[in-house]
Amino acid sequence: MKEIENKQSNLRLDIFINRNYIELSRTKIQKLIVDGKILVDNLIVKPSYLLKGSEKIIIKDFILDVDNFKNIKKENLSLDVLYEDDSIIVVNKESGVVVHPGIGNVSGTLLNGLLYHFDNLSNMNSARPGIVHRLDKETSGLIIIAKDDFSHNKLSYQFSNREIKKVYRAIVWGSISKQGEIKGYLTRDHRNRTCFILNDSKGKYSYTKYNMILDYPPFSYVELYPLTGRTHQIRAHLKSIGHPILFDKDYGGGQNRSKSYDSKYYTKINNTMKLMSRFALHAYKITIKHPKTNNQMEFKAPIPEDIIKVLDFIDETK
């Protein structure tokens, strides 16, 4: 996401974006504004909105309008490749790495590194070759990359038909129940259009099951099984049951959450908050059918050091 402090006045929003981001067509810009992917002071406005010179313009992450993957810069970035064959690549993505280029992130992404290290990637979408699915920037863990269009199609079919099994690990606020399920419809939060909220009828259906691994008051370590794959699903689901992910400020898991707990936990909470700089969510395991052999394959990404550090500390101080 890119934030712009606008200083220009008497200029249409779509023209302003067009002048500053020449890789986007005017038609593309207008659609992005209508779809709520370009906001003014966190609100959806019309493409013809006349800027006053004092607004904050938010441009959400979306794919650059490129004609060919050759327009994406190849960069010699370090990749943690867990598995590779002629059809797929399995990468353990570090937290802080964006999956593919977008406005405000034209370099340093996972895709920039993939294009440097691998000669063959699928080209189903020329703006993001090989990319079958995504993780949030701060989420660490497993990403499956397709090397050819056949494999990309097969994997996409498995994702859309919910045949791929995913397992996440997270540290959450509070003592969560030993097991449970969260389901409902996800729609954008009208108070913060970059986030989603759960409701009973409006939006896209979503479903997550979970098991509590360990209880470390005032936190819990939990394993999650998303049966659907909606944007921010796990983050929004955990917030909806009062157990947001630790450090997830957008979904109520930041430092202010400590005010909800007994003062006896304040020292522990304050010290815990110094141990990480991103929300504590990790894509831990994924099970697929190989796109060509049809054999079932399971991959695991080790729990990263920052999450282990927090777990060790809250265990020692429980």
Q: Active-site positions?
A: 136
Residue 206: what residue type? S
CA distance 203 to 200: 9
Of 93, 107, 137, give the one whose Cα is nearest residue 250.
137
Closest by Cα among 194, 133, 186 to 1: 194
**Whole-number Cα distances in Å, 269 to 178, 213, 238, 280, 307:** 22, 20, 19, 14, 15
Q: Which long-range contacts (CB under 8 A, 24 or more apart) does 130-137 make?
A: 130/89, 131/99, 131/100, 132/156, 132/159, 133/159, 133/229, 134/99, 134/100, 135/93, 135/99, 135/283, 136/232, 136/235, 136/281, 137/95, 137/96, 137/97, 137/98
Tokens of 101: 């280029």
Per-position DSSP letters for 39-66, written without gaps between them: EETTB---TT-EEES--EEEE---B---
* Pairing between β-strand 281-289 and β-strand 179-189 as defined by DSSP bridges: unpaired
Torsion, CA 286, CA 291, CA 292, CA 297, rounded to 10: 10
Separation CA 61–CA 31 (nearest Å)? 14
